[in-house]
Amino acid sequence: MKLCIFGAGYVGLVAAACFAESGNTVISVDVDEARIEGLKQGIIPIYEPGLKEMILKNQAEGRLSFTTDAVAAIQSSLICFIAVGTPPGEDGSADLQYVLAVARQVGQVMTGYKIVVDKSTVPVGTADKVRGVIREELTNRGIDLEFDVVSNPEFMKEGAAIDDFMKPDRVVIGTDNVRTAEIMKELYDPFMRKQNRMIVMDVRSAEMTKYAANAMLATRISFMNQIAGLCERMGADVAAVREGIGSDSRIGYDFLFPGPGYGGSCFPKDVKALVKTAEECDYDFLLLKSVEEVNERQKEVLAQKVINLFSSADQEKPLTGRVIACWGLAFKPRTDDMREAPALTIIERLLSAGAVVRVHDPEALKEAQKFFGQRVEYSSNQYDILTNADTLVVITDWSEYRNPDFERIKSALRQATIVDGRNLYKPDRMAAIGFNYFPLGRCSCPRGNEVQR
């Protein structure tokens, strides 16, 4: 099939590469000329495991191309995917200007039947708006052409996006048109050869499904972060509690790890947008408002743990003279994405408390420079930043942090202290090798050396 995909970001590029990989002819369109120029030369603007290889292969084999020429892309494609950003507007609602701009272009230049697919995460009712804008443009041109608007929300996870796309848990298609559903089924057939995982529903329910999924996952995270907070105060161990509840098949183990708060380009904005959507229908989504508030507070927890370690005469800047080393900046491992990453709040808080902050991340150092400039020290070696630092703070659970050289850490740090926002290590082991270890929701075990004040 001939497709064009608007937006060469995380979702658009992964979708373009995977659709090309299954034999389709795909044109990836973006308004960012530098991005498209780079892609034409094989420079991939984001880090996503396996993406570069798949793009280069399909580009070389002529199934995948990149352009800023929206007109040619639309006119030569049967299906036009919209995978552009939907950032939060000032009031928290999803900003649809980029989605509707693409819809307008389609209406302005289409010359035959088109299926326009909303893959961006968009509020309920957006497909109607997209349809309205296309219809308006066709009316302006004085013509009447047939088209369909489909909702096909994307559920991929950054860091495992290719796998998620190639072997999806489900593909949700929102359409009332049986023929369109058949075409979409044909397109997605190669990704569900073992078992049909396509769920066809009405457009509004498909739009809501994406928000409900992200809201549910964000709720689990905030819930577990509060359980961890309580465990810490009551002397219970959140790791044991997670096992205890996760073994219940009604609950399951996923999304029950405590951490420094959820971040990324999706959960924060989608939770906000759903609260806003509810408000617009005079419905108070109390639960989600709390999920968001808990998350904002959780982002403060790690920095506060560090501050609590050091009493200081300077109450305003309690970390003056302290050097804090941070492992992990991306909002999760296997991505360089730092949008709404908890590391942003944590590091800002450490800086404003007067600390010198050094950071390491396997992929996100370049991104981090956009946020922190010269205000922090960067290193591509996870051990280099530890020399004479007062504390190591683990923010993101990259695999290289899971079983590090503890002797090396201990001899590099001024004091053997780790504040662990991902509960990567065993408290008993840490105590045995002489660390003051501060995880989340578990016994702090400052049984090794006392922290120097």
The tokens for 439 are: 């995880």
DSSP line for 400-419:
GGTS--HHHHHHHSSS-EEE
Pick between residue 154 and residue 232 the one whose CB is nearest to ligand NAD. Answer: 154
Q: Enumerate residues 6+ apart whose C-beta is below 8 A from 60.
A: none
Q: Is 11 in the site for ligand NAD (CB under 6 A)?
A: yes
Measuring CA to CA, which residue among 81, 87, 122, 78 is closest to residue 102?
81
Does 151 contact ligand NAD by CB under 6 A?
A: no
Among 149, 231, 266, 302, binds ligand NAD (CB under 6 A): 266
Name which of residues 91 to 120 contact ligand NAD (CB under 6 A): 98, 101-102, 120
Position 365 contacts ligand NAD (CB under 6 A): no
CA distance 192 to 200: 14
Helix (H) or strand (E) holding 19: helix 10-21
Give exposure, 109-136, as e/b (b: 16+ Cβ within 10 Å).
ebeeebbbbbbbbbbbebbebbbebbbe
- Interaction between residue 84 and ligand NAD (CB under 6 A): yes
Kindly state the smallest distance separating residue 217's Cβ from ligand NAD, in Å. 12
Catalytic residue among 80, 266, 326, 445: 266
Our measurement of the distance from residue 328's CA atom to the centroid of its chain's CA atoms, rounded to an integer in Å, reads: 15
Secondary structure class of 172 (helix, strand, coil): strand
Task: Tell me whether residue 156 or residue 288 sits nearer to ligand NAD (CB atom).
Answer: 156
Does 217 help bind ligand NAD (rule: CB under 6 A)?
Answer: no
Closest by CA position to 152, among listed 169, 135, 127 = 127
HEC readout, 216-284: HHHHHHHHHHHHHHHHHHHCCCHHHHHHHHHCCCCCCCCCCCCCCCCCCCCHHHHHHHHHHHHHHCCCC
By C-beta, is 367 or 390 nearer to ligand NAD?
367
**Residue of 86, 93, 152, 423 interacting with ligand NAD (CB under 6 A):** 86
Find the shortest distance in angstroms from Cβ 24 to ligand NAD: 19
Q: Count residues binding ligand NAD (CB under 6 A).
A: 26
Decide if 445 is catalytic: no
Minimum CB–partner distance for residue 200 and ligand NAD (Å): 19
Mention every residue, 6+ apart, whose C-beta is less than 8 A from residue 373.
none
| Residue of 16, 39, 47, 85 interacting with ligand NAD (CB under 6 A) | 85
Q: Pick one of 12, 107, 342, 439: the residue that binds ligand NAD (CB under 6 A).
A: 12
Measured from the CB atom, the residue of 84 and 291 that comes closer to ligand NAD is: 84
Please report how close the Cβ of residue 294 comes to ligand NAD at its closest, in angstroms.
22
Nearer to ligand NAD, 7 or 229 (CB): 7
Q: Which of residues 18-47 bind ligand NAD (CB under 6 A)?
A: 29-32, 35
Kindly state the tokens that stand for 185. 């089924």
DSSP code, position 373: G
Taking CB under 6 A as the criterion, the residue among 6, 165, 191, 262 binding ligand NAD is 6
Which of 265, 391, 417, 436 touches ligand NAD by CB under 6 A? 265
Beta-carbon contacts of 122 under 8 Å, excluding residues fewer than 6 positions away, are: 86, 94, 96, 99, 151, 207
Query: Which residues of the chain form contacts with ligand NAD (CB under 6 A)?
Result: 6-12, 29-32, 35, 83-86, 98, 101-102, 120-121, 154, 156, 158, 265-266
What positions carry a catalytic annotation? 266
